[in-house]
Amino acid sequence: MNKFLILGTKECSYCDQTKSLMNNMNISYQYIDLNIEYKGNWKICFDDPDIVQYINGQRTIPLIFQDTSDTDTDTDTDTVDSILNNKSCYSWKFIGGLKEIKKILEKEEPIILNDDY
């Protein structure tokens, strides 16, 4: 089960640091290379409605999401559209970038799964 989704590029050192952090902490994640997804022009992801609805105006990578659903993430799919739209929009929580995920993981702060009470 992939509880995190990282969107980044191979050229991004922050993306590499995020993956290393997750690997070192044995945290399951799926990684999508935005250069492959957007045919070499990854910056257009910030105009993609499938992403924009989640990222609250962030314009940097990596983009890190947590899957808050109780069902497994389909790891056979490898596109942003197929992953983010495979589940209810309420099952994905946008975490932010490297700085935000470090704060959560290194301080062992609980990740708030959703705002529903």
CATH number of the domain to which 83 belongs:
3.40.30.10
Rounded Cα distance, 13 and 111, in Å: 24
Rounded to an integer, what is the distance from CA 43 to the centroid of its chain? 16
Other CB atoms within a 10 A radius of the CB of residue 77 amount to 15
Domain count, the chain: 1
Distances (CA, A) of 21 to 14, 16, 78, 82: 10, 9, 22, 25
Model pTM?
A: 0.76
46 is a domain residue? yes
115 is a domain residue? no
Rounded to an integer, what is the distance from CA 5 to the centroid of its chain? 3
Where in the sequence is the domain holding 48, given as residue range(s)?
4-106
113 is a domain residue? no
State the Cα angle at 62 between 5 and 1, rounded to 5°. 10
pLDDT tens for the chain, 117 residues long, are 558 999 999 999 999 999 999 999 999 999 999 999 889 999 988 988 878 888 888 999 999 998 887 765 455 555 666 666 555 555 778 999 999 999 988 775 555 544 553
114 is a domain residue? no
